[in-house]
């Protein structure tokens, strides 16, 4: 791992990233054999319910890393901005998943039906639950008295007006023992302001020690670990 240096010159603000996949319908993903059997079944809505209804490279990168490294130490996992639920569902299917694994895939209310559909497609109702979690708001009741071990965020840094809301949610969800993994697609200069602010509360380290790193890095996708600073 190496300490991440956030670039201040990335892309002009006017550039809009085009997702690698724009297909509608169902995909089967086995992550180069890291998932056995039929792999992960994912239904996409092509963005009908918002940008979260598509598959994005940052989510795939995060899933690859977790499938490579295993999640045995993390029985309670929360994903924010889950969209289709890709990353949370992938780890729930992993052979390394602890027997008592509980995964919450969360997003805005309009994404809940798609996430529930994908949970059912993979028969993961006993391990994965879709819940509403709006950034910047008070944490929902299902998290009361139930700290999570691992927080996942794939491609959540994309809307400048939401930066302070995302930062507040990351702070509220974590303590000094919480591990946060964030995959991030570089798009515009303004993104650096989010990371500059977050560094006041978290140590940020770039993760590079997995096979797919170079492939995703070439496309501007970075994986980071955030650890809350102790006062």
Give the predicted TM-score (pTM) of the model. 0.87
Paired sense of beta strands 102-107 and 179-185, if any:
unpaired
Residue 64's pLDDT is 97
Task: Read off the tokens for 208.
Answer: 């590079």
- On whether the CB atoms of residues 68 and 94 are closer than 8 A, the answer is no
Q: Residue 161: count other Cβ atoms within 10 Å of its Cβ.
A: 6
Residue 2's pLDDT is 46
Q: Any residues with CB less than 8 A from the CB of 83 and at least 6 apart, and which?
A: 51, 52, 53, 54, 56, 59, 107, 111, 114, 115, 154
Place of tokens 């999640």: 71
Residue 24's pLDDT is 63
pLDDT under 70: residue ranges of the chain: 1-24, 46-54
Domain positions in the chain are 20-228
Residue 189's pLDDT is 78
Would you tell me which CATH number, out of the four given (3.40.50.740, 3.50.50.60, 3.40.50.150, 3.40.47.40), belongs to the domain 20-228?
3.40.50.150
Place of tokens 């978290």: 202
Question: For 48-93, what is each residue's pLDDT tens digit?
Answer: 555 556 688 999 999 999 999 999 999 999 999 999 999 999 999 9
């Amino acid at each position: 791992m190496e300490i991440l240096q956030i670039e201040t010159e990335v892309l002009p603000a006017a550039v809009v990233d085009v997702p690698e996949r724009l297909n509608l319908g169902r995909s089967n993903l086995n992550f180069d054999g890291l998932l056995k059997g039929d792999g992960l079944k994912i239904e996409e809505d092509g963005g009908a319910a918002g940008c979260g209804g598509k598959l994005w490279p940052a989510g795939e990168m995060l899933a690859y890393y977790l499938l490579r490294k295993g999640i045995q130490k993390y029985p309670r996992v929360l994903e924010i901005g889950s969209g289709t639920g890709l990353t949370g569902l992938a780890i729930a299917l992993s052979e390394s998943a602890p027997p008592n694994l509980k995964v919450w895939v969360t997003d805005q209310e309009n994404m809940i039906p798609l996430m529930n559909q994908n949970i059912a497609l993979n028969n993961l109702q006993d391990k994965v639950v879709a819940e509403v979690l709006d950034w910047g708001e008070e944490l929902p009741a299902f998290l009361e008295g139930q700290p999570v071990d691992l927080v996942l965020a794939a491609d959540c840094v994309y809307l400048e007006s939401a930066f302070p809301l995302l930062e507040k949610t990351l702070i509220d969800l974590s303590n000094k023992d919480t591990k946060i993994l964030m995959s991030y697609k570089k798009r515009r200069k303004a993104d650096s302001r989010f990371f500059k602010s977050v560094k006041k509360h978290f140590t940020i380290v770039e993760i590079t020690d997995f096979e797919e790193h170079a492939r995703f890095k070439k496309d501007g996708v970075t994986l980071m670990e955030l650890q809350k600073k102790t006062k």
